[in-house]
Structure 1
């Protein structure tokens, strides 16, 4: 059984309320040895911490999602800072910009994004970046806020090679999820092929973004195996090699010994 690292999942989602334990057991049976669960607002940060405390192979990231930026208060940033001293918290995220959902004004998103990058530099934690339809502004803010000091992950990357190159130059890892398994996913496949192998990560973003052949259904961490299959096919490496490489990369990124 090869060891896989699902570097981005939401196992605390209410979509798993009826079978969370079984979902985690299926992931383990599929070879998933490590997971990073993402707490991204006032509701999901506590449930993420609880999951990480319950399972020794689940780690936590805590941050404020751009969609919820309008709701963030200064005390929430203080809360995230305190949680960064928790032994299972390995990153600040997911943070970034989302221009698809019109829930938080862009200027608010920018402010919250910058504040969290500054916090990450203060506490020396990598950051996990959510970027939807905001490639240019995400890169600009990362550069202006010296995010290269901490690096992190471009989560479920959907941009061009030019954008990926700028992120790589700042020390970021590029992570791919279910969409890279789609037959029409030309650009993600081309970018994955060009990403240096020591900067490649895989993820599910479960319960979202299910890979083929589960597209349109609930995603789960076990399905990171399908992403590994796609990465192997695209790079010409074996699935075992992809598993070993992405496990090593993930541990290095998040400081997991």
Structure 2
């Protein structure tokens, strides 16, 4: 089995991996067919005057079978539109995810309380949801896991703080992903670091994340993974 890279903007550095590549709706025409793809609207772009058009285009693209998930989307207290506006946009995208019956991949910075409150609403509770690039503390990890989130950890694991290492140990294996995001670091190094922290083997983590990929996206492995 190949290593799953749950979220990478640079698949060219992960040619021997199963890559999930996120595309923003404003640049969707650039996507390649050689990897699994998701489509989203990054919260950093929520200040744009084109937001209404982008939301309409996202609603169209989300229905296409080429895209296996919606993301990255989310909330960021440090960048983008005012948080209230981001929440309004986020909920509109969640409606799109519900309609297209596709899971969501989330970017979240200092908005954990708001995020959990939104996704605890009954109309969104059934959505499969994953936090990408998780690097918060253990208590946040536990709260997210308790609320049904998957957590994806990135290259920060290679030189993990004690707090991040503790957070990783609290995530059930069936809710775990690993990724490289926008770095050029080989995904193998992230698996190696995670295996060391979890007192596991890379082979065990590869088996787990392959199964999690199928479960989360509701897919079967295609030729993209061979």
Q: TM-score, normalised by structure 2?
A: 0.89
Q: Given that residues 142 and 167 in structure 2 are in contact (C-alpha distance below 8 angstroms), is that contact kept between their aligned partners in structure 1?
A: no
Is 1:92 aligned to residue 70 of structure 2? yes
Q: Determine if contact 2:154/2:180 at 8 Å carries over to the other structure.
A: yes
Distance 2:169 2:119 in 1: 24
Contact 1:154 1:172 in 2 (8 A): yes
Q: Deviations over 1:22-73 (max 9, x none)?
A: x62x522xx31x1111112413x222xx31x2x1xx1111111111112253
Structure 2 residues not aligned, in runs of 5+:
221-226
In structure 2, C-alpha distance between the alignment counterparts of 1:199 and 1:240, rounded to whole Å: 17
Match of 2:86 in 1: 109
| Corresponding residue for residue 224 of structure 2 | none
Match in the other structure for 2:26: 42
The 1:145/1:187 distance shift into structure 2, 3 A limit, reads farther
Q: Deviation at 1:107?
A: 1.4
TM-score, normalising length: structure 1: 0.79
Q: 2:41 aligns with which of 44, 49, 64?
A: 64
Residue equivalent to 2:169: 193
Distance 2:207 2:178 in 1: 11
Unaligned runs of 5+ in 1: 12-22, 207-218
- Alpha-carbon distance change, 81 to 198 in structure 1, aligned in 2, over 3 angstroms: same
Residue 232 (structure 1) aligns with: 195
Provide the C-alpha distance between the structure 2 equivalents of 1:134 and 1:171, rounded to a whole number of angstroms: 17
Q: 1 CA distance for matches of 2:77 and 2:194?
A: 28
Query: 1:122–1:170: structure 2 CA closer, same or farther, 3 Å change rule?
Result: farther
Instruction: Determine the structure 2 residue equivalent to 1:131.
Output: 108
The offset of 1:244, in angstroms, is 1.2
Shift of 1:167: 2.4
How many residues align? The count is 219
2:25 & 2:106 partners in 1: Cα distance?
15
Could you tell me how far 1:147 is from its partner in structure 2?
Answer: 3.0
Q: Which residue of 2 aligns with 1:6?
A: 5
Equivalent-residue separation in structure 1 for 2:150 and 2:124 (angstroms): 13
**CA distance in structure 1 between the aligned counterparts of 2:59 and 2:146, rounded to whole angstroms:** 27
